[in-house]
Amino acid sequence: MAQSHENISTKITESHDAAGIVGSVLEINKSHDVITTSFEEMLEQSLQGFGWAIFFQVILIALSAFFDSEQAFISIYTDGIPTWHCTNNASKTCNSKQSADICKLHTSEWAWDEIPSKTIVSEWGLQCSNTFLRGLPASSHFAGTILGLFVLASLADSCLGRKKLLLYSCLTMSVTGIITILSNSVWIYSLLRFIAGFCRATMATSGIILLSEVVGKKWRGRVGTLLVFFYMVDILSGLQRHGASSSTVNVFSSRKDLFSRKWSCQRMLSLMVVAFGIGLVFYGVALGIGNLDFDIYLSGIFNGLLDIPVVFLSYLLIEKCTRKTSLLILCLASGTFSVMIAVVGEKFKVIQISLSLATFLCGDTALNLILVYSVEIFPTCVRNFAASFARQAVTFGAVLGSLLNSLGSKNPYLSYGVFGLIVFCCGFFVLILPETRGTSLCDTMDEQERKENIVHS
C-alpha cells in the first residue's frame, strides 16, 4: 500500500514537472514573439522617414521599368504589318482601303506606304508567311523571359542580391538590344529577342522588391506605383518615336524552402494561377490592338494615356481597399469586357475599341496589384524567387496571348474570348490567398509561419 502511494506521488511529481517544462516553453515562445514584434516595430519606425535621399534611390530603381516596358511592347511596332497602297500597274481588284488580300496580288500591283525597313514584316517579306512565323519574335522574347525567371530568380535571394542583379539585367539587355539591329533574318532576330527576354526577366521583380524594402509599409504601395509611371512614360515616348517616324546550394535553397511547406506551396501555386490570367488578358489585349481594324498608333496612344488613371487607381486600391477584393473584381471585370469585345464584333467599332480600353485598364491595374501583392505574401529569404515565379506566370500568359492573337486575327473568339474566359476563372483563386494590406514584411519562413499562427489563433 505504501509502495502504491509512493508510485502515485512519483507520477504526480513527473506530470507536474512536465507541465512546468511545457509552460516554460510557451513562455519562451511568447517572449520570442514579443521580441520579434518589437524588432519589427523598431525596423518599421526606422523606415518611416521618406527624405530626399530615399526619394532619389526610389527614382533610380523605378527607372528600370522604362527599359523593361520598352522591351515588352516594342514588338507592336517592329513586328506589325505596315500600311500599303496600290500602284499604277494594279488591276481593278486591288483596293488597299477595303483590306484586299495582299497575297493574292502580284508584287507589281502594290507597294508599302513607307520604307520597307519600318517593320520586320516589310523588310523580310513576311506578309504572306504563316501566323507562327510572324508571331515567333514576340513569343521567343517572352519564352526567354520565362527561362530567365527560372534560372536567375534565386540569385537575388542568395549570391548577387537585388541591386547587382538589376544592374546586370539592365546592362546585358541593353547590349543585346543594340546587337539586335544587326539581324538579317527573322530567325536571328527571334534568337536575339529570346536572349533579350532572358536578360530582362528579373528586372520588374528586383525593382519592385527593392522599392518595397527601402521604405516602410506606409510608403510601400505608393512607391510601387512609380513603376507604373515609368511604364506609362515609355509607352507614350515609344508612340512618339514610332508614330512619327558553392553558391549553387544557396541559389536552390530558396526554391526548396518555398515548396517544402504545404502552406507556401499552395500559396505560390494559387498566386501563379491568378498572375497567369492577368498576364494573358493584359499582354493579349495590349499586343493585339492591330487585330481590331483600327490605327495601331491611335490605339497605342489611348492605351498609353490610360496609364495615367491606372496610376491613380492603383494607388487608391492599394491604400484604401483590400488586395483580395480588388484583384477579384478587376479579374472578373477584365474577363467580362474581353469576352464582350468578341461578341460585339467589328460592326460596332467604337464600342469594340471602348471595351478594349476598359479591358486594358482593368488588366493593367490588376498587374500592378499582383506585383505588389506577390512581394507582401512571402518573407525576405524567398521573396525575389516567389515574386519571380509570379512574374513567370504573367509571362506564360504573355506567350499564350501572342500566339492567340495570331490565331485570332480573323476570329476574335479565339483571342479575346479565350482571354476573358481564362482570366475570369483564374480570378477566383485569389480567395485562397491571405490578405496582406497593412501588414509588416517577415524575414524568414519560420517567422512568417509563427506570425500567421498568431493571427489565426
pLDDT digits (tens, 9 = 90+) for 420-430: 999 999 999 99
- How high is the pLDDT of residue 30? 43
Q: For residue 51, what pLDDT is reported?
A: 65
Domain count, the chain: 1
- Tell me the average pLDDT across 136-157: 80
Measured between alpha carbons, how far is 452 from 283 in angstroms, rounded to an integer?
A: 34
Residue 307 domain flag: yes
* Domain membership flag for residue 110: no
Range in 91-105, 371-385, 426-440, 443-457 with the lowest mean pLDDT: 91-105
In a domain, residue 101? The reply is no
Task: Say what the pLDDT of residue 359 is.
Answer: 93
Q: What is the pLDDT of residues 321-366, one digit of tens each?
A: 888 999 999 999 999 999 999 898 777 888 888 898 899 999 989 9
Residue 255: inside a domain: yes
Question: pLDDT tens digit string along 167-183?
Answer: 888 888 888 888 888 88
Confidence of residue 233 (pLDDT cuts 50, 70, 90): low
6-62 pLDDT, tens digit each: 444 444 444 444 444 444 433 444 444 444 444 455 545 554 555 677 777 777 777
The answer to the question of residue 62 being in a domain is yes
Highest mean pLDDT among 81-85, 312-316, 406-410: 312-316
158 within some domain: yes
- pTM for this entry: 0.60
Q: In angstroms, what CA-CA distances link 396 with 39, 111, 279, 307, 314?
A: 39, 37, 7, 23, 23
**Predicted local confidence at residue 92, as pLDDT:** 66
Q: Give residue-wise pLDDT tens across range 272-328.
A: 999 999 999 998 888 777 777 777 777 777 777 787 788 888 888 888 888 899 999
Domain presence at residue 157:
yes
What local confidence, expressed as pLDDT, does residue 253 receive? 52
- Is residue 353, in this structure, part of any structural domain at all? yes
- What's the domain range around 389? 52-81+132-456
Take residue 134 and report the three cell numbers written for it: 510572324
- Rounded to the nearest integer, the mean pLDDT of the chain is 75
pLDDT digits (tens, 9 = 90+) for 252-280: 455 566 677 788 888 889 999 999 999 99
| pLDDT for 93 | 64
Kindly report the CATH number assigned to the domain that includes residue 221: 1.20.1250.20
> Residue 188: what pLDDT?
92
Handedness of CA 176, 182, 186, 187 (dihedral sign): negative
* More confident site: 158 or 244: 158
pLDDT at 215: 66
